[in-house]
């Protein structure tokens, strides 16, 4: 199993660590923990693994909050090895981290427990022990310098854990950077900023007297994180480790951010593909709906022209012809407007008050001729002033998909019909689309909301209509579902009622 950045960081800093759920179940453990806890396995309970020593009889998991930032001592139930450490609660997950290290009294004790120097991080008490037994080789100044380095490493390690934990849960780069700058400002008194301009000379990590430049790269873009301090910054090994971990955490955020953007772009393309397919299916219907008023306009204009040429203009007939021409022009304009609105991408439109009666009527107008050609009767019942909040184009797309599906389903049946109802149920508007079919097989109804699932012949459907409709309704705080209890085939969708 691939380790997360947080797990890699913990393994490097606290190789004997244990992480428990707030219920006391072991979630993960460090690379060296097996030396102190034999037969350790994920899922084991804390009470079976360890015994509290200091404070005595206080469970470090259930009472973690009272022990935060206090040194605790526990004993392994299996090897009786004692370990000192700290209790840390991991942010929103409420998991409990025991950052532990074995208590080693001498070299023989180290060997008796099957431990070696390589099992410990460089800043641990064991490292301190090895420093002390060779203290004769060091001057007092050199020893102080070593301990200062260890203290710095420990400080950076704590910050790294918090940053890696936060960054593992977000796909927003600016949110992650804001969190990081807040942490390093409060702990290190550093300031910082991020940009993606003038990055020609941006290369990995660069250190200067008063700052650090960290270049964050992805396949699509580059960003520069600049950290500044009032004091001189020395590129120590612990600082280099901190900056490298910081870079990895942020680049993982960028990767997730770009993947999310790519997924949204693909989803938008699917929506447009489905809409264009629906318009293609209605092409004949739309052409007929436009040809009828055009033919009337042409005929009325020809008659008026003939009367004018013969000098026998009847003002009453002329007014009647002009009235019909205006009416047919308005009808054509309405159809063209409906097509133009339906065809555009409405994903970025604001949510605004919408009138559901008008949307249903306009959508039925688009597929009216196609339905009539198949001999399908349409009935619809409505409510006055059915106001909701949303994007009218997207709701029209959902309805058109349901109307087209119903039309295809009942084509060829005896006395086919489609019924549309709009009614209020508590604080929801319900739109039901029922056709004269006898329902949908259970094996099909379970899968029909999945993307690209279709029972239509090749070239007849995309299999995207219902899955896209489901996503659109979710964005509108609504739902779409198949009514299994209905005698006939019925789909329903819900939208919130807009309070006056």
Secondary structure of residue 34 in the 3-state scheme: helix
Same domain, 304 and 177: no
In this prediction, what percent of the chain has a pLDDT beyond 90? 7
In a domain, 478, yes or no: yes
Tell me what pLDDT residue 493 has.
94
Model confidence at 198, pLDDT cuts 50, 70, 90, reads low
Taking the C-alpha atoms of residue 268 and residue 468, their distance in angstroms, rounded to an integer, is 10
Same domain, 222 and 363: no
Model confidence at 495, pLDDT cuts 50, 70, 90, reads very high
Indicate which CATH number applies to the domain containing 306. 3.30.565.10
Same domain, 304 and 450: yes
Tell me what pLDDT residue 145 has.
59
Indicate which CATH number applies to the domain containing 180. 3.30.70
Mean residue pLDDT across the chain? 76
Model confidence at 137, pLDDT cuts 50, 70, 90, reads very low
Write the CA distances from 422 to 361, 433, 436, integer angstroms.
12, 9, 18
Tell me what pLDDT residue 172 has.
81
Q: Which domain holds residue 231?
A: 167-265
In a domain, 161, yes or no: no
Same domain, 192 and 51: no
What are the tens digits of pLDDT across the range 247-285? 888 888 888 777 776 665 555 555 555 555 555 555 545
Domain count, the chain: 3
Beta bridge partners of 51: 75
Write the CA distances from 373 to 180, 367, 368, 411, integer angstroms.
64, 10, 9, 10
Q: What is the DSSP-derived secondary structure letter of residue 45? A: B
- Tokens representing residue 197 in the block: 């301009």
Same domain, 338 and 374: yes
Tell me what pLDDT residue 135 has.
47
Mean pLDDT lowest for which of 22-36, 363-377, 391-405, 453-467? 453-467
Same domain, 88 and 203: no
Residue with tokens 């949908």: 440
Residue with tokens 């019924």: 419
Last residue of a domain, one of 230, 265, 300: 265
In a domain, 143, yes or no: no
Same domain, 352 and 220: no
Same domain, 261 and 328: no
In a domain, 476, yes or no: yes
Count the Cβ atoms, other than its own, within 10 Å of residue 124: 23
Same domain, 192 and 236: yes
- Comparing 370 with 464, the larger pLDDT belongs to 370
Answer yes or no: is pLDDT of 136 > 50. no
Spatial CB neighbours of 367, under 8 Å, sequence gap ≥ 6 = 282, 285, 400, 403, 404, 407
In a domain, 146, yes or no: no
Same domain, 301 and 422: yes
What is the average per-residue pLDDT within 401-407? 86
Same domain, 357 and 401: yes
In a domain, 468, yes or no: yes
In a domain, 127, yes or no: yes
Taking the C-alpha atoms of residue 286 and residue 280, their distance in angstroms, rounded to an integer, is 10
- Comparing 445 with 287, the larger pLDDT belongs to 445
Same domain, 183 and 203: yes
In a domain, 473, yes or no: yes
Count the Cβ atoms, other than its own, within 10 Å of residue 297: 19
- Comparing 356 with 136, the larger pLDDT belongs to 356
Model confidence at 286, pLDDT cuts 50, 70, 90, reads low
In 449-488, DSSP assigns E strands to 479-482
Model confidence at 16, pLDDT cuts 50, 70, 90, reads confident
- Nearest Cα residue to 357 out of 392, 391, 331: 392
Indicate which CATH number applies to the domain containing 93. 3.30.450.260
Q: What is the DSSP-derived secondary structure letter of residue 394? A: H
Model confidence at 419, pLDDT cuts 50, 70, 90, reads very high
- Nearest Cα residue to 424 out of 387, 399, 397: 387
């Amino acid at each position: 199993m691939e380790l997360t950045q947080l797990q890699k960081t913990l393994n490097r800093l606290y190789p004997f660590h244990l992480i428990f759920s707030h219920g006391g179940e072991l979630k993960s453990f460090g690379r060296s923990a097996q030396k102190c806890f034999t037969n350790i396995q994920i899922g084991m309970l804390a009470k079976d693994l360890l015994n509290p020593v200091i404070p005595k009889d206080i469970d470090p998991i259930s009472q973690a909050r009272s022990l935060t930032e206090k040194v605790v001592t526990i004993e392994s139930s299996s090897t009786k090895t004692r370990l000192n450490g700290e209790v840390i609660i991991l942010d929103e997950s409420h998991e409990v981290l025991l950052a532990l290290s074995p208590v080693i009294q001498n070299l023989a004790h180290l060997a008796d427990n099957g431990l070696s120097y390589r099992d410990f991080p460089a800043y641990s008490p064991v490292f301190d022990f090895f420093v002390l037994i060779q203290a004769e080789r060091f001057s007092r100044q050199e020893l102080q310098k070593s301990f200062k380095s260890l203290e710095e490493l420990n400080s950076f390690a704590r910050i790294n854990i918090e940053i890696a934990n936060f960054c593992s849960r977000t796909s927003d780069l600016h949110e992650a950077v804001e969190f990081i700058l807040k942490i390093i400002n409060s702990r290190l008194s550093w300031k910082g900023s991020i940009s993606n301009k003038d990055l020609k000379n941006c290369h990995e990590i660069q250190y200067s007297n008063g700052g650090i430049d960290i270049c964050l790269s992805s396949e699509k873009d580059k960003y520069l994180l600049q950290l500044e301090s009032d004091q001189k910054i020395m590129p120590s090994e612990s600082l280099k480790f901190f900056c490298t971990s910081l870079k990895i955490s942020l680049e993982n955020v960028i990767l997730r951010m770009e993947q999310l953007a790519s997924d949204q772009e693909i989803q938008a393309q699917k929506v447009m593909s489905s809409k264009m397919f629906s318009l293609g299916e209605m092409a004949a219907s739309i052409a007929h709906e436009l040809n009828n008023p055009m033919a009337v306009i042409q005929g009325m204009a020809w008659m008026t022209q003939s009367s004018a040429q013969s000098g026998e203009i009847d003002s009453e007939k002329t007014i009647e012809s002009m009235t019909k021409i205006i009416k047919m022009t308005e009808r054509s304009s309405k159809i063209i407007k409906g097509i133009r609105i339906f065809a555009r991408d409405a994903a970025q439109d604001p949510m605004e008050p919408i009138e559901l009666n008008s949307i249903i009527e306009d959508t039925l107008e688009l597929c009216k001729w196609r339905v009539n050609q198949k001999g399908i009767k349409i009935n619809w019942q409505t409510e006055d002033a059915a106001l909701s909040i949303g994007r009218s184009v997207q709701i029209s797309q959902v309805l058109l998909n349901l109307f087209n599906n119903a039309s295809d389903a009942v084509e060829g049946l005896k006395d086919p019909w489609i019924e549309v109802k709009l009614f209020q149920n508590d604080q929801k508007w319900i739109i039901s689309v029922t056709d004269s079919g006898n329902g949908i097989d259970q094996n099909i109804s379970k899968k029909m909301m999945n993307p690209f699932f279709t029972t239509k012949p090749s070239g007849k459907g995309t299999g995207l209509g219902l899955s896209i409709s489901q996503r659109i309704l979710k964005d509108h705080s609504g739902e779409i579902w198949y009514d299994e209890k209905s005698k006939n085939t019925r789909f329903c969708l819900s939208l919130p009622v807009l309070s006056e």
